[in-house]
Amino acid sequence: MKFLPAKFFLLILSCFVAQQSSSQSENEARRSGIKSSTTTISNADSDPKKRTTSRVFDKKGRELEVCEQFSSQKECYRSEYSRKGLLTKEHFFVNDSLQFSLHYSYSGSGRPLKKIRVGHAGDSVLVEETHWNAWGDKSEELQFDKTGQLKKKIIYLYNKRGLLISRKTEDGNGRLIQEKSVDYEFH
């Protein structure tokens, strides 16, 4: 019977731990004391493509950074939290160049109120606001250009059970661009 050298055993063990930790919830990461994890996916030898995902957690198990490396491109999300533990900002980078940021605001009770997306590609700035209803469902998304002019509005409607029944997309002048409706049949 052949035994694997210690370094191969540690490599296999670290891959197993990384795979497990990549799917950990915040509570599991906190309970386990996970500080970071790395998952590597490699295709067969004939296909040299490789994808690596790394995650960094704080002591409370919240993801601070998630990076994916494939080919020569690296994409990262970096997150910031309030003292209450609410996600306040996310920054998206491609090869260490900031692409856009998301800023979140909440009510006093911790319900999400608004998400603003600000693009950072040259001079272009796109601001997206997302609003939620009293039940925590997305009620509308608004997209503005850098001058503050409304470019697009998406309106979400729900039935009494909280299921999405309609999504309407309008241009900045209120003209209907697209409408999606969903019908449900119950037992």
Task: Domains for the chain: give ranges and CATH numbers.
Answer: 1-62 (no CATH), 72-187 (2.40.160.190)
The pTM assigned to this predicted structure is 0.61
**pLDDT digit of tens for each residue in the chain (187 aa)?**
333 333 333 333 333 333 333 344 566 777 778 888 888 777 655 555 678 889 999 888 899 999 998 878 899 999 999 998 999 999 999 999 998 888 888 878 787 777 888 877 655 567 788 888 888 889 999 988 878 899 999 999 999 999 999 999 999 999 999 999 999 988 8
CA nearest 135: which of 104, 166, 164, 170?
A: 164
Q: How many Cβ atoms sit within 10 Å of the Cβ of residue 57?
A: 21
Is there a contact between 127 and 115 (Cβ–Cβ < 8 Å)?
no
Phi, psi of 38 (to 5 degrees): -135, 130
Cα separations in angstroms, 128 against 28, 60, 114, 119, 172: 32, 29, 9, 10, 13
pLDDT of 72 reads 83
